[in-house]
Amino acid sequence: MKDEQKTIPQTVPRQSWTYSQEINSEIRRAAATGIYDIRGGGAKRKLPHFDDLLFLGASISRYPLEGYRERCETKVVLGTRFAKKPITLDIPVTIAGMSFGALSGAAKEALGRGATLSGTSTTTGDGGMTPEERGHSKTLVYQYLPSRYGMNPDDLRRADAIELVVGQGAKPGGGGMLLGQKISDRVAKMRNLPKGIDQRSACRHPDWTGPDDLEIKILEIREITGWEKPIYIKIGGARPYYDTTLAVKAGADVVVIDGMQGGTAATQDVFIEHVGQPTLAALPQAVKALQDMGMHRKVQLIVSGGIRTGADVAKALALGADAVAVGTAALIALGDNDPHWEAEYQKLGTTAGAYDDWHEGKDPAGITTQDPELQKRLDPVQAGRRLANYLKVMTLEAQTIARACGKNHVHNLEPEDLCALTVEAAAMAGVPLAGTSWIPGRGGY
């Protein structure tokens, strides 16, 4: 009998899809601590994304441009609707808003340096405008946030554009929390709060509710700044069609739409992974809203959330964006999550590429920290150069694709240049499934 049992084939131990090792570990962590998991970054789950789209390239019916010989323009003008002084970017890639406080002063300086070398803009975040950032950023977008930390009319006037933040893709409908360990003397002073306490950033603006109020708020900001500055409205990818419509109605010069892959300095993991829409789904809805109002290209559209390569840039522009913004990718270019610091990531219980406890202020790369010693690890000049290199590569890649599609400006890329690899991506992007003329949701089935 015993011999027979030995010969019975055994099934391979099967891990549950529903109760995966990752889910089980989270259940154990929650049971041990009684508190939800906080982390930085954007959605990590696999989502339909620009990877699910392909360019068709030129053919007999499409005439390509000669690489390295024929020009393919990349210039972008933002704020042409109402602002007396629209801003001009040399490339269609900008740096998304990230706060001093969440990031070190050196990191903010590096972002400014890299953006300026590349002829593009960078953006402040919650916590106000630092002199280093203003000084090293030729074109600086100043965020106007619910917390109004550090907000003042002089910085508003020093800005080149103003971004009124309604929401962000990582947490549409959520505020923020900068934990006490990152509140240095300087951060505390800029935010007018005691050192070492958790600083909450409200989820709603304190002095307006709804689109009618927002229109008046924009009027006030324009009156304070002499109608010079482009006014952006940043929204999370929650209800992009209606939010874009309302932002335009309220008077925006530029709409910024941030999908759920867009990063945050810190919020609940459950929020990041389960609220909002993927960038690929949000962007076409925003474009449609602009088109339905006859405002496409009149109100410029910036998209962010998981933009990593020139291919992503080209695909976003082909779907109707005027520019893209990068945040997480810019931090990686500076040195975030670099395998060089693997030994230290291991000490923190993580590994390079997965490190996301940015709120704890222990970043081995010296970027998402206010620790004076860790900050020294980031040379803002070298890091700025790395960012500029990266932005240059993205631009060259986007130009390469645009030329292959026969476009002499990256803005001439269009949905007709694309096909989708999956039914989901075809439905979201509104482009045909590869090898078919089928766009799910259109044509009756």
Query: Which residues of this protein are in contact with other proteins, per CB under 8 A?
Result: 33-35, 147-148, 151-153, 156, 177, 179-180, 191-194, 196-198, 200, 202, 206-208, 213, 216-217, 219-220, 223-227
How far apart (Å, rounded) are the C-alpha atoms in residues 387 and 380? 10
In the beta sheet, which residues pair with residue 122?
Answer: 140
Supply the minimum distance, in Å, between the C-beta of residue 36 and other proteins.
9
Nearer to other proteins among residue 216 and residue 393 (C-beta): 216
- For residue 232, the SS3 value is strand
Nearer to other proteins among residue 265 and residue 429 (C-beta): 265
Nearer to other proteins among residue 328 and residue 370 (C-beta): 370
Determine which helix (DSSP H) or strand (DSSP E) holds 323, and give its type and residue range.
Answer: strand 323-326
Nearer to other proteins among residue 145 and residue 325 (C-beta): 145
Nearer to other proteins among residue 180 and residue 440 (C-beta): 180
Supply the minimum distance, in Å, between the C-beta of residue 42 and other proteins.
22
For 188-197, give one letter per residue: b (16+ CB within 10 A) or e: bebbebeeee
Nearer to other proteins among residue 179 and residue 396 (C-beta): 179
Nearer to other proteins among residue 190 and residue 331 (C-beta): 190
How far apart (Å, rounded) are the C-alpha atoms in residues 162 and 159? 7
Supply the minimum distance, in Å, between the C-beta of residue 158 and other proteins.
13
Supply the minimum distance, in Å, between the C-beta of residue 147 and other proteins.
7
SS3 string, 75-97, reads CEEECCCCCCCCEEECCCEEECE
Cβ proximity of 330 and 95 under 8 Å: yes
Rg (CA), the chain: 23
For the beta carbon of residue 270, count every other beta carbon within 10 angstroms.
Answer: 11
Cβ proximity of 146 and 185 under 8 Å: no
Sign (positive or negative) of CA dihedral 58, 59, 63, 66: positive
Supply the minimum distance, in Å, between the C-beta of residue 11 and other proteins.
41
Supply the minimum distance, in Å, between the C-beta of residue 177 and other proteins.
7
Supply the minimum distance, in Å, between the C-beta of residue 110 and other proteins.
29
For the beta carbon of residue 160, count every other beta carbon within 10 angstroms.
Answer: 21
Q: What is the DSSP letter of 403?
A: H
Longest dimension (CA), the chain: 92
Supply the minimum distance, in Å, between the C-beta of residue 215 and other proteins.
9
Supply the minimum distance, in Å, between the C-beta of residue 162 and other proteins.
13
- For residue 180, the SS3 value is helix
Nearer to other proteins among residue 201 and residue 399 (C-beta): 201
For the beta carbon of residue 35, count every other beta carbon within 10 angstroms.
Answer: 9
Nearer to other proteins among residue 96 and residue 221 (C-beta): 221
How far apart (Å, rounded) are the C-alpha atoms in residues 107 and 147? 22
